[in-house]
Amino acid sequence: MSDLQLKDLYDGFRDPDTIKAFKKIIDEDAKKLEHPINIMEVCGGHTHTIMKYGIPQLLPDNINFVHGPGCPVCIMPKERIDHAYVLSMQEDVILVTLGDMIKVPGSNGSLQDARSKGADVRFVYSPLDCLKIANENKDKKIVFFAIGFETTTPMTAALMDTVIKQDIKNIYFHINHVTVPEVMRELIDSRDEHVDSYNHQIDAFLGPSHVSVISGSKIYEEFPRDYKKPVVVAGFEPVDVMQSISMIVKQFIENRCELEIEYKRLVSYDGNKKAQDLINIYFEKISLFKWRGLGNIKDSGLKLRDEYAKYDAEVIYKDILPIAQIEDHKLCICGDILRGMASPPECTIFGTACKPSTPIGSCMVSSEGACAAYYKYGNLL
């Protein structure tokens, strides 16, 4: 076998000639389509790639994207951010979280605001960084505000595993892990209920990349089978996305409806069994999890199993965590955007009152949010 050079791999998946070659194939195949097709990319990473590389402009008019709810920061409801805010304001607590979570406004402000009021809020690149913080601050309680889909859940489970094995006394968990198939199902079902009120049908899905590395493609089986929506699990590079679109278009013109994997270099049908086992040891489903803009979705969230309640910040701090339900901002249409019923430019406050420096809705906060991607790359506006 020849040596695989990193540069070859990297450049190969961004190669303009390859992208153009796929464009030609898609253009030819799309002429044979009986009706236009709308493809929902579930994952925020795909939204970012699609916008950054201008993929919509490369596609024929009868292939459109619908942006899905796959950004863990975007779908976090204010109620959960308020939990984090309250926890962070405890004198003996260091609140630790990932990504853009720190910037998302709750009803009292963001975690960044809490920090400006003296709270010890820290952003880390890996859950394992909690171990170092805990070791250096033995008189403090480290609360890990865990976020993300199937992708990041096993990392939280691995931290939990280490905490137990090393008998670490000052790390606690506030779990906000959510699952992809349940929200995909909700999007299809809820749209069926509002058939007159949406203007973007979902005809097929681009399956998330990293989620599928962990869970395997098997979690999407029901969508081609029961809902007649093809799913192609796609990698993040523009060539991956173009190839995946080509695979979806071919399914339509060949009258197939299947679950396929484009991202074979990393995704298998069964996924990462060790990671799945670790998740099952520590987590169980909760009956309802509220998604920002989408409301309560059945079985879509996880919690620590009861036997680990002594590590569960939601149990320990039960008496001080707010329980009030909060409405989303009236002018913000993040919910419709996450549902694929509207596109960011259709929002009256997009780019005016709501922009990355002053986000009102969560889709503008995270760089993976559809609004932020449109704002950053959407020169077409």
Partner 1 sequence: MCLSIPSKVTHIDEESNVCTVDTMGVERKASLDLIDQPVVIGDYVLIHIGFAMNKIDEEDALASLEVYREIIEKMEEEDRRQAILEDDNCPNRG
Please identify, using beta-carbon distances, which residue of 81 and 146 lies nearer to partner 1.
146
Contacts (CB under 8 A) with partner 1, residues 83-142: 98, 125-129
Cross-strand partners of 341: none
Please identify, using beta-carbon distances, which residue of 127 and 181 lies nearer to partner 1.
127
Please tell me whether residue 367 binds partner 1 under the rule CB under 8 A.
yes
Please tell me whether residue 298 binds partner 1 under the rule CB under 8 A.
no
Inter-CA distances, 109 with 78, 101, 112, 122, 236, Å: 10, 12, 8, 16, 33
- Please, what is the minimum distance in Å from the beta carbon of residue 156 to partner 1? 10
Please identify, using beta-carbon distances, which residue of 170 and 209 lies nearer to partner 1.
209
**Residues whose CB falls within 8 Å of the CB of residue 224, separated by 6 or more in sequence, listed in order:** 230, 231, 257, 258, 259
Q: Which stretch binds partner 1 (CB under 8 A): 7-15, 101-109, 179-187, 318-326?
A: 7-15
Contacts (CB under 8 A) with partner 1, residues 204-233: 209-210, 213-214
What whole-number distance in Å separates Cα of residue 367 and Cα of residue 354?
14
What whole-number distance in Å separates Cα of residue 250 and Cα of residue 256?
8
Q: Which stretch binds partner 1 (CB under 8 A): 149-157, 166-174, 328-336, 355-363?
A: 149-157
For CA atoms 131, 132, 134, 135, the dihedral sign is positive
Please tell me whether residue 145 binds partner 1 under the rule CB under 8 A.
no
Please tell me whether residue 1 binds partner 1 under the rule CB under 8 A.
yes
Which H or E element spans position 313?
A: helix 313-316
DSSP state of 21: H
- Please, what is the minimum distance in Å from the beta carbon of residue 248 to partner 1? 17
Task: Select the residue interacting with partner 1 from 86, 158, 302, 354 (CB under 8 A).
Answer: 158
Please tell me whether residue 151 binds partner 1 under the rule CB under 8 A.
yes
Which H or E element spans position 96?
A: strand 93-98
Cross-strand partners of 43: 70
Please identify, using beta-carbon distances, which residue of 79 and 129 lies nearer to partner 1.
129
Task: Select the residue interacting with partner 1 from 152, 170, 176, 215 (CB under 8 A).
Answer: 152
Please tell me whether residue 274 binds partner 1 under the rule CB under 8 A.
yes
What whole-number distance in Å separates Cα of residue 362 and Cα of residue 285?
24
- Please, what is the minimum distance in Å from the beta carbon of residue 367 to partner 1? 6
3-state per-residue secondary structure call for 237-289? CHHHHHHHHHHHHHHHHCCCCCEEECCCCCCCCCCCHHHHHHHHHHEEEEEEE
What whole-number distance in Å separates Cα of residue 138 and Cα of residue 115?
20
Contact 261, 255 (CB under 8 A): no
Please identify, using beta-carbon distances, which residue of 283 and 317 lies nearer to partner 1.
283
Side chain identity at 246, as an amino acid letter?
A: S
Contacts (CB under 8 A) with partner 1, residues 327-356: none
Task: Select the residue interacting with partner 1 from 69, 224, 235, 340 (CB under 8 A).
Answer: 235
83 token code pair: 């939990």
Q: Which stretch binds partner 1 (CB under 8 A): 82-90, 158-166, 194-202, 306-314?
A: 158-166
Please tell me whether residue 368 binds partner 1 under the rule CB under 8 A.
yes
Residues of the shown chain interacting with partner 1 in the complex, contacts defined by CB under 8 A: 1-2, 4, 6-10, 12, 15, 17-18, 20-22, 24-25, 43-45, 48, 98, 125-129, 151-152, 154-155, 158, 161-162, 209-210, 213-214, 235-237, 239, 264-266, 272-275, 278, 367-368
